[in-house]
């Protein structure tokens, strides 16, 4: 599994791609594989608040239900409607079209706590 090195990761198997003060968030390929076939995604509405470590959404698969945790604190700018309409995007393109939310980061210091690709790879037992 090739991990993109242009983003940060969480121990909850989410990725964060930062552009200025906007963080795009999704789940990793590892998480998508563990979930199995994703059949439903519930995401927060634009304008809602996201607090680091709190549940902001839900991802259901044929095997289980997983929670989406906010890896950063800020305002949700956008949810990926394409994923809501076609949840399988989470499985087929987790690092691209399968992104979940965009958040305007209000506390950039929290980004320092996120893992780089090498640290995340070690967490899941892969090599970066």
Residue 21 has pLDDT above 80, yes or no: yes
In a domain, 33, yes or no: yes
Closest alpha carbon to 2 in 21, 15, 20: 15
Question: Where does the pLDDT of residue 2 fall: very low under 50, low under 70, confident under 90, or very high at 90 and above?
Answer: confident
Specify if 42 maps to a domain: yes
* CATH label of the domain that carries residue 53: 2.40.50.100
Enter the pTM of the model: 0.94
pLDDT tens digit string along 92-109? 999 999 999 999 999 888
Average pLDDT, the chain: 94
Quote the pLDDT of residue 109.
87
Question: What's the confidence (pLDDT) of residue 96?
Answer: 96
Q: Can you give the pLDDT at residue 1?
A: 66
Q: pLDDT tens across 43-83, in order?
A: 999 999 999 999 999 999 999 999 999 999 999 999 999 99
Q: Is residue 122 one of the residues assigned to a domain?
A: no
Q: Domain of residue 58: give its range.
A: 8-107
């Amino acid at each position: 599994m090739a991990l993109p090195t242009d983003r940060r990761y969480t121990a909850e198997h989410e990725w964060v791609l930062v552009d200025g003060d906007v963080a795009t968030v999704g789940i990793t390929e590892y998480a998508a594989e563990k979930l199995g076939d994703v059949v439903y995604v519930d995401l927060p509405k634009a304008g809602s608040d996201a607090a680091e470590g709190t549940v902001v959404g839900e991802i259901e698969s044929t095997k289980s239900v997983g929670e989406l945790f906010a890896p950063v604190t800020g305002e949700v700018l956008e949810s990926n409607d394409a994923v809501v309409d076609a949840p399988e995007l989470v499985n087929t393109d987790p690092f691209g079209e399968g992104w979940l939310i965009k958040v305007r980061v209000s506390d950039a210091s929290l980004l320092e706590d996120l893992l780089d690709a090498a640290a995340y790879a070690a967490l899941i037992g892969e090599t970066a």
